[in-house]
Each structure stands twice: as C-alpha cells, then as structure tokens.
Amino acid sequence: MEPIIHLENITKIYNEKSDPLKALDDISLDIQKGDIYGIIGMSGAGKSTLVRCINLLERPTSGRVIVRGKDMQALSNRELRRERTEISMIFQHFNLLMQKNVEDNICFPLYINKVKKADARKRCAELLEIVGLSDKAKAYPSQLSGGQRQRVAIARALATNPKILLCDEATSALDPQTTTSILSLLKEINARYGITIVIITHEMAVVREICTHVAIVDNGRIVEKGTVDDIFDSPKTEEAKKLVLYRRNRDVTIAEGGEGI
C-alpha cells in the first residue's frame, strides 16, 4: 500500500553559505495511513525540523516529500496552502490566538477555508463536544489550563477534517496526568476518524502509550525504525538501546509519580 507520508533522502542544512549546520541528514521514512507514528530523539536531534518538512513549514535542502501521493515541493503556494488544510498540526505551547476566545480560535481554520460563519459555529460546537470543552466556547485561552488549551488546539486542528495530524511535543508542557488524558484523546481521534498521527516527542512513555511505529532520530539521522514492540523488545543500535534503557528507568520514576501507564 502506498504510504500516506513518504520522505525520501531528506537533508536540511541551515545557513548553507555562512555557517552550515546539518539538521537532517539523508532521512527516509514511510508512514502508512492510520499509523500513530512516533519520532523520538533527544532535544536538538532534528525531529522538530523533520516534522515541519512534512507540511513544508521547513523546506528540505534536498530530498522528496510525498504526502497523500502529492509531490509537496512541486506544489504552487496556493496548492500548498490548500494541502496544508489536510495536514493539521498541534504544538508544545499550543499556539492559540491569545486575544481570541475558544470559539474564534477553533473557527479560524474554517475562516481560512471560507466556511460560512454559521456552519463554522456548528462545527465548532461538535469539536468542543469531542474534546470535552463544550462549556468553554466563550472563554479566552488565558482562562484555561494547559491541558484545556491543548484540547482547544486539537479541536482547532480537527476543524477542517484533516487526514494527518502532526504533534510537535504536544504533551511536553503538560503534567503526567494531563499528558495521559491528551494522549487518550489522540488515540480516540485516531481510532474514530482514521487520522494518521505523527508524534514528535522526547518522552519514551508517550511512544509506548500510543504509538504503533517509532523512528529514533539522533544527530539528524534515523538510527532505527520499526514497530514500537520490535524496537522496545530488541533495540539494535547503541542509540536505540541507550534511549530505550534510559527512558525505561525514567518511565519507572514517572509511573511512580502517578502517571499510571
């Protein structure tokens, strides 16, 4: 089956002229429809750059990005913007419009897609129902907790019925309990709507909790990839072992802290 996301020999070099920095080094990755794909690595490993190459918020220096069968780099700006409505994204710091209330935030992608206001409001109500914040439509982000804000961000991301959801450290700013609830929400969304989810994280617990597949990124390269079960059971490379082992120890402490995995 053709993968929904196909990354081929992706290399990204910053400051090519003055002080070159290779963020991504010849990365190839296939993600199938319906996967919950974890990309894990230490901070600075290049995973945030990698995920932004999928929706071209970052343009790779070389390599090919094929999403939903389309050669992303070949699209015009207008086509790219259209395609981005199929690839939603949520962020570590939620990135909500702080001057707008929850409803306006969720309706924003619908406004971009020229959805009529009344229809947008209706869709917003549905989404709030899904994320369990029906009573917060008129609240401002500053009045919400971190977990609630991420729920708003997820509702916003789902507004346009995307096929792919990119999560950039979406739970890193949250406490363990909230992390769990957000992860189960993502899991539910994946199961209910068949949305492919790509999760960037530095927390092995997150991968273990919901991912079907995982790629370990180190120094801009993928050192190992496969199903979560395979990698955890028999890590092959040093980096994978280190990460799995290190994370295992840490997971224990997190679990003891009440994460309840």
Partner 1 sequence: MILSSGFDWSVFTPKVNQMIVDGVWETLYMTLVSTLMGYVLGLPLGIVLAVTGEKGIAPNKAVYGVLDFIVNITRSIPFLILLILVSPITKLIVGKSYGSSATVVPLVIAAAPFIARMVEGSIQEVDKGVIEAAQSMGADNFTIITRVLIVEAKTSLIVGVTIALGTILGYSAMAGIVGGGGLGDIAIRYGYYRYDMEIMVVTIVILVFLVQIMQYIGMALSKLTDKRRIK
In the complex with partner 1, the residue whose CB is nearer, 31 or 90, is 90
Any contact of residue 161 with partner 1 (CB under 8 A)?
Answer: no
**Closest distance between partner 1 and the C-beta of residue 90, in Å?**
8
Output the CA angle 3-30-194, nearest 5 degrees: 50
In the structure encoding, which two tokens stand for residue 10, read together?
Answer: 């992706």
Diameter over CA atoms, the chain: 55
Q: How far is the CB of 95 from partner 1 (least distance, A)?
A: 4
Which whole-number Å values give the CA distances from 108 to 91, 150, 160, in the listed order?
16, 16, 10
Q: Which is nearer to partner 1, 21 or 191 (CB)?
A: 21
Does 133 interact with partner 1 (rule: CB under 8 A)?
Answer: no
200 or 240: CB nearest partner 1: 200
Summarize the chain as % helix, strand, coil (round to 5). 45, 25, 30
Cβ proximity to partner 1: between 180 and 196 the closer is 196
Question: Site residues for partner 1, window 37-66 (CB under 8 A)?
Answer: 55, 57
Q: Is 14 one of the binding residues for partner 1 (CB under 8 A)? A: no
- 51-90: burial string, b at 16+ Cβ within 10 Å, e else: bbbbbbebebbebebbbbeeebeebeeeeeeebbbebbbb
Q: Which stretch binds partner 1 (CB under 8 A): 28-36, 116-124, 138-146, 204-212?
A: 138-146
Among 142, 192, 253, 260, binds partner 1 (CB under 8 A): 142
Element holding 105 (H helix, E strand): helix 102-112
| Residue list 190-209, contact with partner 1 (CB under 8 A) | none
Nearest approach in angstroms of CB 222 to partner 1 is 23
Size of the chain in residues: 261
**Least Cβ distance, residue 80 to partner 1 (angstroms):** 8
User: Binding pattern to partner 1, positions 76-105, x when CB under 8 A?
Assistant: -x--xxxxxx-xxx-x-x-xxxxxxx----
CB of 183 to partner 1, least distance (A): 20
Cα(234)–Cα(240) distance, integer angstroms: 9
Listed residue (159, 135, 161) closest to 148, CA to CA: 135
Q: Are 156 and 89 in contact (CB under 8 A)?
A: no
Binding site for partner 1 (CB under 8 A): 55, 57, 77, 80-85, 87-89, 91, 93, 95-101, 108-109, 111-113, 140-143, 153, 156, 160, 166
